[in-house]
Amino acid sequence: MSGRLTCSLALALTVLLTGTAAHGEAASDPVVYGYPYVSRCPGAGFADKVDRWGMYACNCTSYVAWALQANRQRIDWFVPGAMDARNWPHVARLAHLPVGTQPRVGAVAVWPKLARPFGHVAYVTRVRRDGTMDVSEYNLPSASGYAPFVYDHRVAVAPAGAEFIYVPRVRPRADRF
């Protein structure tokens, strides 16, 4: 076999067996569209409406909670009243979820010092070969030049200053008869 064909077969087998492509890219794109509060944005604010996850609608935490659920990842670790973005790594550690410094598709990116005192979270949708990442988010702090309470998808974001929460998928429940 040629080297190119062997490499292509190896990549196809990796995707088939693990569900991921090379360099941490997902074999299929994560769900990032369909946030249920979009019709209320950008009119929402910090005290406007509490969503079904106990977060304020149209804020970064609400969007990432939705993205985790939409991608069948655990949300049972949320602590009502303690989910400002800056607290997410601490709450994740209390729930024994792994936290690290390397981006992965499906991870929660947390910038605890951004938008003080709240911090900022985003959902990692792609990790690039150069170590940067693409993220989907709501309510990126306006000091960055973005409009508040609006969806954004940023590409080639440097992971510097971020922590990452590696949230596992929900395990399917076995039906009991």
Burial zone of 40 (CB within 10 Å; 0-12 exposed, 13-18 middle, 19+ buried): middle
Q: Can you read off the two tokens belonging to residue 65?
A: 């909670």
Q: For the residues 167-171, what does the mean pLDDT come to?
A: 93
CB 109 within 8 Å of CB 164: yes
Structure pTM? 0.79
Residue 99 lies in a domain: yes
* Distance between CA atoms of residues 46 and 87, nearest Å: 17
Q: Does 137 have pLDDT greater than 50?
A: yes
Residue 4 lies in a domain: no
Radius of gyration of the chain (CA): 17
Q: Does 116 have pLDDT greater than 50?
A: yes
Q: Which domain holds residue 77?
A: 20-165
Higher pLDDT, 61 or 142: 61
Determine the pLDDT at residue 141.
Answer: 77
Q: How many domains does the chain have?
A: 1
Residue 83 lies in a domain: yes
Residue 1 lies in a domain: no
Residue 107 lies in a domain: yes
Query: Who's near 159: CB < 8 A, 6+ residues apart?
Result: 101, 102, 103, 109, 131, 132, 133
Q: For the residues 33-51, what does the mean pLDDT come to?
A: 78
* Distance between CA atoms of residues 136 and 128, nearest Å: 15
Q: Does 158 have pLDDT greater than 80?
A: yes
Average pLDDT, the chain: 82
Residue 174 lies in a domain: no
Determine the pLDDT at residue 7.
Answer: 36
Residue 7 lies in a domain: no
The listed range with the strongest mean pLDDT (2-6, 66-70, 80-84, 170-174) is: 66-70
Higher pLDDT, 74 or 116: 74
Residue 5 lies in a domain: no
Determine the pLDDT at residue 50.
Answer: 86
Amino acid letter at 131? G
Q: Does 112 have pLDDT greater than 70?
A: yes
* Distance between CA atoms of residues 121 and 88, nearest Å: 8
Give the CATH number, domain containing residue 126.
3.90.1720.10
Helices (H), 25-142: 60-70, 88-94
